[in-house]
Structure formats: structure tokens, C-alpha cells
Amino acid sequence: MKILVTGGCGFIGSNFIRYFLDSYPNDLIINVDKLTYAGNLENLADLSPSRRYHFIRADIAEAPPMEAILREGVDAVVNFAAESHVDRSIEDPSAFMKTNVFGTFVLLEAVRKVFPKRQIRFVHISTDEVYGSLGETGAFTEETSLAPNSPYSASKTAADMMVRAYHQTYGLPTFITRCSNNFGPYQFPEKLIPLLISNAIEDKELPIYGDGMHVRDWIYVEDHCRALDTVLHHGKEGEVYNVGGRSEMPNLIVAKAILERLGKPHSLLRFVKDRLGHDRRYAMDFSKIERELGWRPSVSFEEGISRTIEWYQAHQEWWRKIKTGEYLKYYERMYGNR
């Protein structure tokens, strides 16, 4: 199988590429990434260009390179490419509209132009945030109404609807996955868990929005990669699959768990003004993918957070470059400003 992975230099995308190449020694991956601030070539620095892995710097919102790649022949597209940080979407939604909405449209159009001559499976990576916020009980199912509360989640909702429309209208073999909060190696340190870990290592304050009781379901990134693999190979065309980790907990409890594992004092916690439109609680009912495809999470939060802390302790040069902006200077030298 030859797969086009978009956004493969990001957190989940790079973990997926590593997982897939290890799991399928005869398969090939083309990795397309624009290399924005969160796309880091160092995430895959040990993967030299070869028959099995090839990197192309390109923007999914630009049709010519996407169409050229698909004309050469791929069996599947796994679309990770997205602007994903809610805070950034509140400050400037424009990049989210371009990449998440228009970029997804460009990819779907490129696939449509070679369909039905070639059956290309299209796996679109979405988010639980498209469902909005929950009360104290209940969980999102695939039938939950979409109710995005931030420009980020609105852009992902729009992309989901475009993917659905291309299946319904043109018969494209599409799949949508909506996953809860991921954590693990190579996550950009503006996100909650790597920010808390790196700050704690440096004895800096750990910022906690509001009262810290915003609840998220956490999933170790390797489990998410396995779920995507399962959907790619065994999913039913046109379906949506929720993916979760069965690890609901408030952000404050996550922060305290990190401090305790690192032997740091709780006095490093600092409560800050809550962000706009902050959803109070997410929880995922992923019984569909368990029942129909046989997938379930295998890494507990306790095991996953221990692995993650160990990785960030062992790879301090990686995240320190990001925090100081050194990696951006490297990209400018290698590729110029784009």
C-alpha cells in the first residue's frame, strides 16, 4: 500500500508514520507538510529518504502539488494537516479557515479527479471538539449533534461536512475519525501536557485555565495510531468513528500527576484567566469502533504519562529548541520563508 500522509511532521502525524512503517514493512509513505510552526522535521529526522519514505514540502491548500502526487498513484490519504490550537484560532481564525476547510476541499477535489479510475481511501482526522461541550454526565456518540464553540472546532466541523458531502455526492470512500485529547512524544510544547512537563522540568510555573476543572478524555498517541490503522484497513466507507482513551480527568489533576512524578511542588501551579469559549467537559463513547472493528485503547493514562515524561526528560534539546525559536531559524536556512 502507498499512502499519502498530510501533516506528517506534526505530533500525531509523525507518530503515525513511525507506527505505520514499523507495522507494514512493505508499504510506502509520502509525507506532505507545509512546515508551519508546529510541523517539525526533527520529529522524523532519523527516517532517511528511501523507497519506503519520502517527504515533500507542500501546502494542502495548493491544488497543483496535491493533484500531481495523486496522479502518480496512491492507495490512501490520511489527512492530519490542520491548524489545531484553540488559543491561536481565537487570536486569528484565518489560517484555520484556509488549511482546515479549504485545504481539505483541495485534497478531496484532487482525489475526486482520479476517482473512480483509482479507489483512494480518504481518512480524515477530526476532533471531539466538533461536538461542543458536555454537562457533568453523558458522552459524545457519533450521532451527537455538532456544536462547535471555537473558530478551531468550527473549521474542523466544516471540514467534516465536506468529507461527508464528497462521499454522499461522488461516492468517495471516506472515513472520519473524531478522537479525544492525545498525548505522547513529539507533541508541540504549547499544548497542555508537554507545556506542563517542560515547565515543571525547568521549575517554571504551570498555567492552569480558570479553576482547572475542565475535563478531558486522554488517549496515548500510539493507541490513536492503532485506531487509525484499524479504520484505514477495516472501516466502513462513509462512516464516522469516535476514538477515546477511557481516561477522563480535570486538567488540574493532570497537572498534579505530572508534578508528583517529577517530584516538583504543587506551588508551581498558577491559575490564570480562563480562555474564551472554553468547553467545560468532553467525554467519548467509542463503543462503535470497539463493537464493529475490535479496537480499544491499551495504554492507561498512568502508563502513558510516565512514558511521556520520560521522553521529554530524555529529549530536552528537542523541546528547548522549540521554546527558544531555534527550530524556526533552522527552517528558514533550509527552506527560506514561505
Q: What are 87's three cell numbers?
A: 488559543
Q: Which of 33, 59, 129, 223 is catalytic?
A: 129
d(C-alpha 324, C-alpha 330), whole Å: 12
Q: Is 128 a catalytic residue?
A: yes
d(C-alpha 61, C-alpha 84), whole Å: 16
HEC secondary structure over the chain: CEEEEECCCCHHHHHHHHHHHHHCCCCEEEEEECCCCCCCHHHHCCCCCCCCEEEEECCCCCHHHHHHHHHCCCCEEEECCCCCCHHHHHHCCHHHHHHHHHHHHHHHHHHHHHCCCCCCEEEEEEEHHHHCCCCCCCCECCCCCCCCCCHHHHHHHHHHHHHHHHHHHHCCCEEEEEECEEECCCCCCCCHHHHHHHHHHCCCCEEEECCCCCEEEEEEHHHHHHHHHHHHHHCCCCCEEEECCCCEEEHHHHHHHHHHHHCCCHHHEEEECCCCCCCCECCECCHHHHHHHCCCCCCCHHHHHHHHHHHHHHCHHHHHHHHHCHHHHHHHHHHCCC
Q: What are 30's three cell numbers?
A: 509520502
Q: Count Cβ neighbours within 10 Å for each residue of 189-205 and write b for 16 or more, e otherwise.
A: bebbbbbbbbbbbeeee
Q: Which of 59, 128, 223, 279 is catalytic?
A: 128
Q: Is 332 a catalytic residue?
A: no
Q: Is 186 a catalytic residue?
A: no
Q: Known catalytic residues?
A: 128-129, 152
